[in-house]
Structure 1
Amino acid sequence: MRAMQVSSFNNAPKIGIVPEPAPKKGEVLLQISACGLNFADLLMAQGTYQDTPTPPFTLGMEVCGTVLAHGAGVDSPAIGTRVAVFGGAGGMAEKGVFPAALCQPVPDEMPAEVAAGFMVAYGTSHLALTRRANLQTGETLLVLGAAGGVGLTAVEIGKAMGATVIAVARGADKLAIAKAAGADHLIDSTTEDIKSVVKSLGGADVVYDPVGGDAFKAALGACNREARILVIGFASGDVPPVPANIILVKNISVIGFYWGGYLHFNPGALRESLAELMNWHADGRLKPHISHVLPLDQAADALELMRSRKSTGKVVVKP
């Protein structure tokens, strides 16, 4: 079968022919319909992600597919069931094996490309804003990278939770997408000063930051007292130092959040969060934005769209 393989961290990933996998104990074999890409896939290809497998391995952290076979000890989900699953790797391929316990049945009305790009982006924002930041109705949420895969879902979920949302993105086109997702105020990071604009709007109570670098520093300067800053990632490539004196004086909390970590220490929290999000989607409260759907043969182009920041929302690969 075809798969997007990382053979070593010194070579670019490429499509190769690999043996079809067989499900082991506790696993299911899926016919993969779609694979949602994440910024972490870029890091994994370079060997810099915290949960990178040993090469060779297949990229692709989250998928939607149909159950073809069970491994030992597995009797559900039933063969023929359409499921979504976060497997950490193995998704950019025609078939893949994944833990049965992590498979979430997908409603018939949810397209495969939506289901494949739903879990990480929406799950990250939902659990971060509810469990970690305890975002309250009437608070002001500042979202950095607001047109990206996770940033756009933070805008949408924050608005659904009753917050006033300030979206930061690069350029008018990306800001228009954030506005369509519910943002109340827009900041173009290429032409405007984040700190001064946010302060003029009354400051931020919660900051959602998948960017890092200078954007983190600007957001910190615009925080209200007792604000909470969610550290989601470092798309800028710059991990910023945290000035403890400012944190102390303004009683600010800096909160780390890694969605995948819950798979190891509290998978129940992920299941509860995803179940609620599925209900929100069924009720029409969430409208996932997918900017590009590409075939597996163009997986390298899909990765480049994210690397060059030419995508908005999610990028999906379909075998």
Structure 2
Amino acid sequence: MRRVVCREFADPERLEVVEEPDPVPAPGEVVVEVEAAAVAFVDGLIARGGYQLRPPLPFTPGSAVAGTVAGTGRRVAALMPSFGGFATHVTVPADAVVPVPDGVGAGTAASTMEGYGTVSYALTHRVAVRPGERVVVLGAGGGIGLAAVDCARAGGARVLAVASTGDKRRAALAAGAEAAIGYDDLKDAIRAHTGGGADVVVDPVGGPSAEAALRALDAGGRFCVVGFTSGEIPRLPANVVLLRNRTVVGVDWGDWSRTDPAAARDLADAVLGRIGRGELRPPEPEPVPLDDAGRALRRYAERTAVGKLVLVP
């Protein structure tokens, strides 16, 4: 087998690829021959030591994979219980794998486990989005953002996408947004496009755009804090939350999935089922060779990636 190894918390381009004997499963485990491993913004943070979780060194990044169960050919996807996904073979608990429906590629399965899992958790466990509500998605050209556009669209919401480049805005429109805008004069732009204010904001970006979007919420609006890809954690003013009965909700899918892995598995199974039935329409991820894992993580850090990237052996 081949796997990516992080020996120190540093620039992800210092990651190494090593060759080792194929893993042998312990009782209750299976070996998955990886066809695609999801790459996420958070993987780069972890490799640099900039995340709240700091795994013991050395370690292999990667939290979601898809492929076949060795010896059976059964197509599955899995969330890794403690990283390790950037490899050609992984061992996972047998009860952690979910079937990949016919017609769903390995890249799509792997890349939706975290992104669509996060958004589905946000829109089912943290807030409820009703048909016809106005949902604003910041960072709408990234993996989480595109998943939020798609999930909100599938739920009958009217989606306004906010993204930094023309390519990202076009990707959000293709995913189902009714309109797409940039970050200039964000509060007024959101109010203008939503007819007075948004019902829900999904924010994986943070930074100065967060407060502007919070101020653009209508009465009773809900603001979902998903992440800080801008690198800046905003300080949201409590008086703006109080005014008009707004709500700020944290969305930590990672903590929830580690605390209740069975529920996270069921949610992932449901997401893949909806993709298989055509209810959700994730864009095809871009494949990247396993040896280029560091460069893939840099693209996320520099915010030049559109949509999702997956590593392929």
The TM-score with structure 2 as length reference comes to 0.93
Residue 17 in structure 1 maps to residue 19 in structure 2: yes
Match of 1:117 in 2: 111
- Provide, for residues 145-184 of structure 1, a one-character-per-residue CA deviation record: whole Å limited to 9, x for no partner: 0010011010011011111111000121111110111111
**CA apart distance, 1:81:** 1.7
Does the CA-based 8 Å contact 1:291-1:311 persist in structure 2? no
Which stretches in structure 1 are left out of the alignment for 5+ residues?
70-78
How many angstroms apart in 1 are the aligned matches of 2:210 and 2:23?
Answer: 42
Q: 1:297 to 1:264 in 2, by over 3 A?
A: closer
Select 2:138's aligned residue among 124, 144, 169: 144
Partner of 1:74: none
Structure 2 segments unaligned to the other structure (5+ residues)? none
2:10 and 2:300 mapped to 1: Cα distance?
20
Q: C-alpha root-mean-square deviation of aligned residues, in Å?
A: 1.7
Q: Report the counterpart of residue 161 of structure 1 in structure 2.
A: 155
- Residue 117 of structure 1 aligns to a residue whose secondary structure is helix
C-alpha contact (below 8 Å) 2:99/2:269 kept by paired residues: no
Question: What is the CA–CA distance in structure 2 between the aligned matches of 1:165 and 1:288, rounded to whole Å?
Answer: 16
Are the counterparts in 2 of residues 136 and 163 from structure 1 also a CA contact under 8 Å?
yes
Alignment partners' CA distance in 2, 1:101 and 1:125: 23
Identity of aligned residues (%): 41
The one of the two structures with greater contact order (alpha-carbon pairs below 8 A, sep at least 6) is 2
> Post-superposition shift, 1:25?
4.1
Distance 2:273 2:32 in 1: 24
Is residue 2:208 matched to residue 1:214? yes
1:195 matched to 2:187? The reply is yes
Spell out, residue by residue over 1:211-270, the C-alpha distance to the aligned partner (whole angstroms, 9 max, x if none): 001111111111112111111110000111121122122321111111122223333432
Partners of 2:95 and 2:36 lie apart in 1 by 20
- Whether 2:79 is the aligned partner of 1:86: answer yes
Corresponding position of 2:310 = 316
Tell me if structure 1 keeps the 8 A contact 2:10–2:49: no
Taking structure 1 as the reference length, the TM-score comes to: 0.91
Q: State the match for 1:223 in structure 2.
A: 217
Tell me the distance in 2 between the aligned counterparts of 1:17 and 1:107: 31
Q: Is the 8 Å Cα contact of residues 175 and 282 (structure 2) preserved in structure 1? A: no
Alpha-carbon distance between aligned partners in 2 of 1:29 and 1:269, rounded to the nearest angstrom: 22
Residue 291 of structure 1: how far off its partner (Å) = 4.7
- Residues 77 and 99, structure 2, Cα contact 8 Å, conserved in 1: yes
**In the comparison of the two structures, how many residue pairs are matched?**
308
Q: 1:288 aligns with which of 276, 282, 293?
A: 282
Counterpart code for 1:195: K
* 1:232 equivalent in structure 2: 226
